[in-house]
Amino acid sequence: MLDLTVASIPIYFGTMAAEHRYLRARAAEQGPGPADYTPQDTATSLAMGLGSLAIPLVLPKLVRHVVPGKGRYGKVLVGVAAAAAVATTVADRLVERADRSDDEAAPTTRQRLGRLARRARRVTGPVAVGAGALAVTTSFAARTNADEQWAAGGADRDRGTGPLPWFVAIAGWDFLYYWNHRFMHEVRALWAIHVVHHSSERYNLSTALRQPVADVLGLWLPYGVMARFGIRPHLLTQARALNLLYQYWVHTETIRTLGTAEEVLNTPSHHRVHHGSQRQYLDRNHGSILIVWDRLFGTFEREDERVVYGLTTNIETYNPVKVATHEYRDIVRDVAGSTSWRDRLGFVLRGPGWAHERHRQLAAEGDAIVDDPDEAVTAA
């Protein structure tokens, strides 16, 4: 089946070229602005766009081998996660016992074991969390995708291809997308996937192409559940494509407002807010086609002061690999430096704001963010 998002590539380039010409003329009259195209930023966005098409063709094929209950190495993945979790827990106890030892002049066996345990859990902690997360996400995705749900009973409830199932597919996808998008801002492991889309300090149509490449590593409310109720999988595929296509055109400053349509639809104005780094704009306007979900669930914000685009702390790089992986690097660092399961899981499952606040608390308490007494520690 034709992928509408791929078929629309000529439209992407044509509209970006038109917007670029308009913005260049405007800059000549009014001066530069945050919507202007720059070579490095645009190249990064295009590279991320190509990656978002190419990597999902490869990564799921690699990951399927470790899906618990389905892949050849599923049991191995679960075993690694369990063994690493046990080793980390034992290491925590050994460190606690060593810390209770008072004789600093003549280190005891307990203290020597504590030092080894400290180093060991810097490896076993991230392995346990990473392997466990991969086991959960791949297992859930493999059992909730549209084809599985269709085969598990959806075909018996086939709703056909009339207007109603089309409406259900599009509206249902939009509703679930709102929640999944919201969770991407509220759960750090999901933010690590989504942060690439917010990494640009520019805002133009090329920014829309700066898409995540690691969706397979996320845990999502399953769009495929609609297939269980008789919505054909190919309708869901098209609903996904239409949802993505709609999101493309809202990444622009050339359209200011759409009048009364602003009350119902997601628009460039609403989505500019979503990309803002000011406090009042953080984690707002998660809708894709409809803005009514944000109005209903308390995340709506109108565009007021001029938006400052990017992250609250920008990463200052155009390297696509670093853009795609920098938050994962930070998560691994935080999990490796954690001294309890509360923190290890918190740095993954709680929000980016919680992680920042936890760093601040640890710095105030004089505790190490990096759990290694030989390393200097600074707060994020």
pLDDT score of 372 more than 50: yes
- 352: nearest Cα among 334, 364, 373: 334
Shared domain check, 124 and 214: no
89 is a domain residue: yes
Give the pLDDT mean for 205-220.
Answer: 94
The confidence band for 380, taking pLDDT boundaries of 50, 70 and 90, is very low
- CA count, 13 A, side-chain hemisphere, 14: 5
- 63: nearest Cα among 2, 120, 135: 135
Give the pLDDT mean for 140-146.
Answer: 96
291 is a domain residue: yes
The SS3 of residue 309 is: strand
Q: Burial, 372: exposed, middle or buried (Cβ in 10 Å; 0-12, 13-18, 19+)?
A: middle
- 150: nearest Cα among 56, 60, 237, 63: 237
The confidence band for 1, taking pLDDT boundaries of 50, 70 and 90, is low
Number of domains in the chain: 2
- In this prediction, residue 111 carries a pLDDT of 87
In this structure, the chain runs to a length of: 380
- In this prediction, residue 106 carries a pLDDT of 55
**Token pair 């308390």 in the structure block, residue:** 298
Q: What is the rounded CA–CA span in Å between residue 47 and residue 322? A: 12
- In this prediction, residue 105 carries a pLDDT of 53
Give the pLDDT mean for 116-135.
Answer: 97
**Token pair 């080894």 in the structure block, residue:** 116
- 148: nearest Cα among 212, 262, 69, 86: 69
Query: For residue 377, which phi and psi values (nearest 5 degrees)?
Result: -125, 135
Shared domain check, 240 and 206: yes
Query: For residue 309, which phi and psi values (nearest 5 degrees)?
Result: -85, 155
pLDDT score of 227 more than 50: yes
Q: What is the rounded CA–CA span in Å between residue 333 and residue 185? A: 20
- In this prediction, residue 225 carries a pLDDT of 97
104 is a domain residue: yes
Cα 134 to chain centroid, rounded? 15
Secondary structure element (H or E) that encloses residue 32, with its range:
none
Beta carbons of 174 and 289 less than 8 angstroms apart: yes
Report which listed range, 105-114, 298-307, 360-369, is most confident.
298-307
378 is a domain residue: no
Q: How far is CA 95 from CA 185, 335, 357, in A?
A: 34, 16, 25
Q: What is the rounded CA–CA span in Å between residue 247 and residue 241? A: 10
- In this prediction, residue 188 carries a pLDDT of 98
pLDDT score of 200 more than 80: yes
Token pair of 286 as six digits: 């998660």
pLDDT score of 377 more than 50: no
Q: What is the rounded CA–CA span in Å between residue 377 and residue 19? A: 46
Shared domain check, 72 and 54: no
343 is a domain residue: no
Give the pLDDT mean for 119-129.
Answer: 98
CB atoms near residue 286 (< 10 Å): 25
Give the pLDDT mean for 280-307.
Answer: 98
Shared domain check, 123 and 11: no
Shared domain check, 191 and 139: no
Token pair of 269 as six digits: 């104005």
The confidence band for 379, taking pLDDT boundaries of 50, 70 and 90, is very low
Shared domain check, 288 and 193: yes
361 is a domain residue: no
Domain boundary among 90, 115, 144: 144
Query: For residue 265, which phi and psi values (nearest 5 degrees)?
Result: -95, 150
Shared domain check, 293 and 189: yes
Q: What is the rounded CA–CA span in Å between residue 229 and residue 222? A: 13
376 is a domain residue: no
Domain that holds residue 112: 67-144
Among left, alpha and beta (phi > 0; psi -120 to 50; other), residue 336 is: alpha
Please spell the DSSP secondary structure of 238-278, one letter per residue: HHHHHHHHHHHHTS-SS----GGGGGTB--HHHHHHHTB-S
Shared domain check, 172 and 51: yes
The confidence band for 110, taking pLDDT boundaries of 50, 70 and 90, is confident
Give the pLDDT mean for 113-135.
Answer: 97
Domain boundary among 271, 289, 314: 314
Shared domain check, 289 and 168: yes
For residue 90, give the amino acid letter. V
The SS3 of residue 367 is: coil
Cα 330 to chain centroid, rounded? 14
Q: What is the rounded CA–CA span in Å between residue 227 and residue 70? A: 21
Q: How far is CA 233 from CA 98, 125, 155, 169, in A?
A: 57, 39, 10, 9
CB atoms near residue 46 (< 10 Å): 17
273 is a domain residue: yes
Instruction: Record the pTM.
Output: 0.93
